[in-house]
A and B are shown apart, each in its own frame.
Chain A
């Protein structure tokens, strides 16, 4: 049983599982905030997987995936910020249209 639970298998499969969970949320959820969170979970899975691949044989570490993950984390934070700003703008527009259409009859 030990042979099946080596670090590359544990971390690699966990990364892929996170990716699948995030993709499920990205497809199945409608709310923009849920989609952004799902995309973040997906990104976390990809980062974990890439770092695992970069682990190599344990002796010589492959630095290329590490460098990609390093920049990828910062880029994913920026993407989250942009996504949040976009979704807030969408919400603001939706509420302002709704208020104009209803003209104060009923708030919701």
Chain B
């Protein structure tokens, strides 16, 4: 008891002594940024009116989706590849093996997930469909799909594990690949990179969004597994037994 008290006292003393040293810079930076923000604070529409003026040409009715997949499609293409790179990085850091859930099987979680998972898939489909008109889109649908995968993994429903590894790689790569292929197709058709042919914008955007949502969902779910699913070369982790 006494030891614990001394220890905690030492801890607080050390933390109080150490706090100002590394907190000075962020606090000063935060105050400076707040001052800059407040001194330039006046309502401004930004790029809103310009987007609204061009919205008819974008092929979708939602301004956010129009920016995401038409006006600044280049950014979104790169961000899809960033997600893919993260998956590649995680898969490179550990040998392939079976990803087991972090805890024992939970009856309540398992039954709850079996109720929730189909609903979440429907919600993801709805979000993907509603992205053309209002709130929704590939990234929201992908996030819900990823959440479904995480829940299934936690509840020990082997959805990701039952997918053959090659098929999983195809699924993770599908979204970026479709995106890039359609961007190249625009060049072949005589337009610029990611410059959709007039009248075909909504078709291009819908196809890209469907692929991106699937790949983002699969990527987030496999990222949670922490390693590439597949047959492990050794029964136990090789790096632990040199």
Q: How many pairs of residues, A versus B, come closer than 8 Å at their CB atoms?
A: 150
Q: Judge whether A60 and B52 touch: CB under 8 Å.
A: yes
> Do residues A71 and B86 form an inter-chain contact, with CB atoms below 8 A?
no
Q: How far is the CA of A86 from the CA of B226 in the complex (A)?
A: 10
Q: A28-B18, A75-B82, A93-B239 are in contact. Are A64 and B220 (CB under 8 A)?
A: no
A63 touching B219 in the complex, CB below 8 Å, given contacts A71-B68, A73-B139: no
Chain A nearest CB, measured from B240 CB (Å)? 6
Q: Is the interface of A mostly helix, strand, loop or mixed?
A: helix
The reply to whether B34 and A24 form a contact with Cβ atoms under 8 Å apart is no
* Bound-state Cα–Cα, A92 to B94, Å: 10
By size class, the interface of chain A is: 35 or more
Q: Please name 21 pairs of A and B residues whose Cβ atoms are closer than 8 Å in the assembled complex, sorted by A.
A: A9-B41, A16-B30, A16-B34, A24-B27, A53-B46, A57-B45, A60-B48, A61-B48, A62-B47, A63-B67, A66-B64, A66-B67, A67-B68, A67-B76, A71-B75, A71-B139, A75-B79, A77-B146, A81-B223, A86-B93, A89-B94
| Residues of A bordering B, CB below 8 Å | 8-9, 12-13, 16-17, 19-21, 23-24, 27-28, 53-54, 56-68, 70-71, 73-75, 77-79, 81-82, 84-86, 88-89, 92-93, 95-96, 100
